[in-house]
Amino acid sequence: MKAAIISDVHGNLPALEAVLSAIDGERVDELWCLGDLVGYNADPEACTLAVIERSQICLAGNHDLVVNGSIDLSVFAHDAAVAARWSQKALSAHALELLQALSPEGEREGVDLYHASPRDHVWEYVIDNRTAQACLKLLRHDLCLIGHSHVPLRYRPGPDMLAVGGYSEPGELELGDGRWILNPGSVGQPRDGDPRAAYLVLDLDARTATWRRVDYDIARAQRAIVEAGLPETLAWRLGEGR
């Protein structure tokens, strides 16, 4: 069983198209999405429809929950709030209904799936070793996939208070029979300084995880942001991977 894992697409259609076409060449059995289909970028409708149609499981992220009305928009800072309000208007009733049906946590093939973390499915950032260690204790299964931070990451239990791991360069990791929390990174708004779109291939038979990066037409995504009247900082940060 081989699955491609994507997260944090955030309405970036050029990035999503590049990732889906790369995944077509991977010969995977399934596609799993860890949430945040919308927000920040200018194509929430196309991204929502494409991912929900193509994936076997898709979680809700915090942006999906704000845009679909489950969480009040006042929780967001400026750019995120502007983009969420814009997305609410841009989405069809059908796409909003699809977003309303999603949950921020799930399970597939014995793997725990959360948008943010096992402790707080919607908001917690697992980006440091102490938080990761606390979260590793809460797993229902050996493997857990999370998104939300937009950074490719891996953590396994450490000797005491601190998990071992951190940033994941592109490449393969042997999972052995250990416990892991893995983050594929973000398709639509990478924040690790590498502007290329990110995804992960999880091979449950070989017990490997492989982080991938793909080039996409960043200028096209930036133009779409500007033409939609969204904050220009959202276009700028795509080019920086921030």
Q: Which residues here bind Zn ion, judged by CB under 5 A?
A: 8, 36
**Minimum CB distance to Zn ion, residue 10 (Å):** 6
8/124 with CB nearer Zn ion:
8
157/188 with CB nearer Zn ion:
188
36/192 with CB nearer Zn ion:
36
**Minimum CB distance to Zn ion, residue 196 (Å):** 17
62/222 with CB nearer Zn ion:
62
**Minimum CB distance to Zn ion, residue 144 (Å):** 17
**Minimum CB distance to Zn ion, residue 35 (Å):** 7
Residue with tokens 């970036």: 12
**Minimum CB distance to Zn ion, residue 63 (Å):** 6
147/165 with CB nearer Zn ion:
147
